[in-house]
Chain A
Amino acid sequence: DTGVSQNPRHKITKRGQNVTFRCDPISEHNRLYWYRQTLGQGPEFLTYFQNEAQLEKSRLLSDRFSAERPKGSFSTLEIQRTEQGDSAMYLCASTPDTSPRLSFGSGTRLTVV
């Protein structure tokens, strides 16, 4: 069990650019979640996959955001035309079918300048 891995750890981008983050969940976990966390706040749910199927998306996930999980393994989160309000920590978490307990990665810190 190597834990949930996220890359990159930090990303600085100019407003209007596109960015993509990657998450590798724990290998036997078939549920994968993306959360966003801003300073002084708890994580907020963005979207959720069961295997390769994206089953739910939060209202926070605007049309500029897209997430994929091809083959039910790693996942990517893409933000198009970034805005300063997108600056946050993007957290990925995974869990097996039988438990709501999430195992989190270390996150990707996005700064939009």
Chain B
Amino acid sequence: EDQVTQSPEALRLQEGESSSLNCSYTVSGLRGLFWYRQDPGKGPEFLFTLYSAGEEKEKERLKATLTKKESFLHITAPKPEDSATYLCAVAQFSGSARQLTFGSGTQLTVLP
């Protein structure tokens, strides 16, 4: 069964203090690894898709990387508006539904 584990569960940073969130996965036939951001009371908002080990994507202060077993979301010099829950999800090759399997998320708080 596919498993997606995110750590830490919660992270508090001072504004400007860079850090990384981890997503480790076990899945056969990875079709893609996805990062989403979720604000309280809202649906997840797409950030990145990574397809193969070694791939990197960047958007503003966020950079996502992928290895064969895990992905990292690096946050450089975060601002309070980066506070949110960050979700990672995997899609696999087999299966008709092509649904995503999500981790439990990392709740990030950036203090001014």
User: Which residues of A are in contact with B by a Cβ distance under 8 Å?
Assistant: 4, 6, 31, 33, 40-45, 48, 55-56, 91, 93, 100-107, 109
Instruction: Collect the chain B residues with CB atoms within 8 Å of residue A42's CB.
Output: 4, 87, 89, 102-105
- Whether B104 pairs with A101 at a CB distance below 8 angstroms is no
- Whether B101 pairs with A106 at a CB distance below 8 angstroms is no
Q: Which of B4, B96, B97 has the most CB of A within 10 A?
A: B97
- Whether B104 pairs with A105 at a CB distance below 8 angstroms is no
The listed residue (A40, A43, A100) touching B102 by CB distance below 8 A is A43
User: Which residues of B are in contact with A by a Cβ distance under 8 Å?
Assistant: 4, 31-32, 34, 36, 41-46, 49, 87, 89, 91, 96-105
- Whether A101 pairs with B103 at a CB distance below 8 angstroms is no
- Closest A residue to B101 by CB, please name it: A45
- Whether B49 pairs with A101 at a CB distance below 8 angstroms is yes
- Whether B46 pairs with A100 at a CB distance below 8 angstroms is no
CA distance A87 to B89 in the complex (A): 23
Known: A55-B97, A105-B43. 5 other contacts (CB 8 A): A42-B87, A45-B99, A91-B44, A102-B34, A107-B41
Q: Shortest beta-carbon distance, B24 to chain A, in Å?
A: 14
Instruction: Collect the chain B residues with CB atoms within 8 Å of residue A33's CB.
Output: 99
CA distance A44 to B97 in the complex (A): 13
CA distance A80 to B49 in the complex (A): 37
- Closest A residue to B107 by CB, please name it: A40
Q: Which of A6, A33, A101 has the most CB of B within 10 A?
A: A101
- Whether A45 pairs with B104 at a CB distance below 8 angstroms is no
Q: Shortest beta-carbon distance, A53 to chain B, in Å?
A: 11
- Closest A residue to B32 by CB, please name it: A100
6 contacts between A and B (CB under 8 A): A40-B104, A44-B102, A101-B34, A102-B44, A102-B100, A109-B41
- Closest A residue to B39 by CB, please name it: A106
Instruction: Collect the chain A residues with CB atoms within 8 Å of residue B42's CB.
Output: 106-107
- Closest B residue to A47 by CB, please name it: B97
CA distance A106 to B8 in the complex (A): 25
